[in-house]
Structure 1
Amino acid sequence: MKPIITLISGFFGILFFEGFARLIITFYHRIEFQFYGISYLPSDAWVIIILLSVLVSTWLVTMLVLTVINKNSLIYTCIFGLILFLWRLVEIGNSYNAEPIWYFITVNLLHLIGITLAYQLFKNQYENIKNT
């Protein structure tokens, strides 16, 4: 039960971090809030900030998920990645006409990079602790 709750909490954590970045942009520029996509953003700098927030939040939340679960890390890393990719499929289904294809590819690639970096770091730390 603990892994399921942790994975679901991790998913909502990713949504929170990305949504928080979008909320800041919305208040700063007084534009309409949209939960996903980049076509409404006022400049390219904000697009880069959203993409960086995707990478950083994916890495951070994946590290938290792996630390809390602390067993079968590869399996839970793959499950967490699958949850994120399914969420992005929902996003693609809702906004494929309005958003550029490079955005969808980039966001999924950033999720993959964040998850991979978190798994490698977690595995490396676990091996270092085990060897001492």
Structure 2
Amino acid sequence: MNHYFLGIDASKGYSDFVMLNAKKQTVIENFQLDDTFDGHARLYELLHSFNKDNPEATIYVAVESTGGYENNWFQSLLKFQGSLPIKTAHLNPLGVSHNSKADLKRNTTDKISAQNVAEYM
């Protein structure tokens, strides 16, 4: 069974995403989706398509707690678990931050934050 890790950095109105494999190599490059019905539907389509191409895959998906901006995504992901092979987590940002610092990463952008979430898992 193959394991993949989708990191999400939620911001006001949109989120950044990146998917890594177990070797922390990028499988799906950074992309951004609006925090709207259409954005959530697009994420489902992307995950469904990825699952069709990788039927043995389990996708671990995580969002950091960021003052509530992540709640819509988290709720959608919980719903997606019913029809997709995903596991969803809500992470403490302090753990992600310490992991990033341990890897000597200094720069922070939304894209880098999404990658840090994926690597932390």
Shorter-chain TM-score: which interval? Answer: 0.3 to 0.5
- Relative to its length, the structure with more helix (as a share) is 1
Q: Which has the larger radius of gyration?
A: 1
- Relative to its length, the structure with more strand (as a share) is 2
TM-score by length of 2: 0.36
TM-score by length of 1: 0.34
